[in-house]
């Protein structure tokens, strides 16, 4: 099973960057990794940068490529699911990213 980092990462992004939009951006990046089969989406690929005045922002999206894991699971899980996350798991992830409704997140 992939790490549980994925679920908490959305909340961390919102708190660290003080912006709900950041959590939503990270959600979109996670969904991209899922659809692009980038299973090497470990925590080092989810970096943040701090400006000179102390404000945080997500780093550019990097190390994004087709990368199948030997076990067929993502390094970063989707609310506990490293392989074929069900819709309910993605909806829970969207909620933690700050989306008011699933219909907004799925666009």
The string of pLDDT tens digits covering residues 74-103 is 777 777 777 888 999 999 989 988 899 999
Write out the residue range of the structural domain in which residue 63 sits.
5-105
Task: Kindly report the backbone phi and psi dihedral angles of residue 16, in degrees, each rounded to the nearest multiple of 5, phi listed first.
Answer: -65, -45
Could you write out the three-class secondary structure of 21-41?
HHHHHHHHHHHHHHHCCECCC
- Residue 68 confidence (pLDDT): 78
Rounded Cα distance, 62 and 91, in Å: 25
Q: Are 10 and 23 in contact (CB under 8 A)?
A: yes
* Nearest CA-CA partner of 79 in 89, 87, 88, 71: 89
**Whether pTM exceeds 0.85:** no
- Total domains present in the chain: 1
């Amino acid at each position: 099973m992939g790490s549980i980092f994925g679920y908490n990462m959305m909340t961390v992004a919102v708190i660290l960057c003080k912006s709900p939009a950041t959590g939503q951006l990270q959600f979109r990046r996670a969904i991209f990794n899922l659809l692009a089969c980038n299973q090497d989406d470990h925590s080092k690929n989810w970096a943040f940068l701090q400006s000179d005045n102390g404000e945080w922002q997500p780093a550019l999206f990097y190390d994004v490529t087709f990368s199948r894991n030997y076990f067929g699971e993502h390094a970063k899980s989707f609310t506990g699911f490293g392989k074929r996350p069900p819709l309910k798991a993605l909806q829970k992830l969207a909620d933690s990213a700050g989306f008011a409704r699933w219909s907004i997140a799925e666009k």
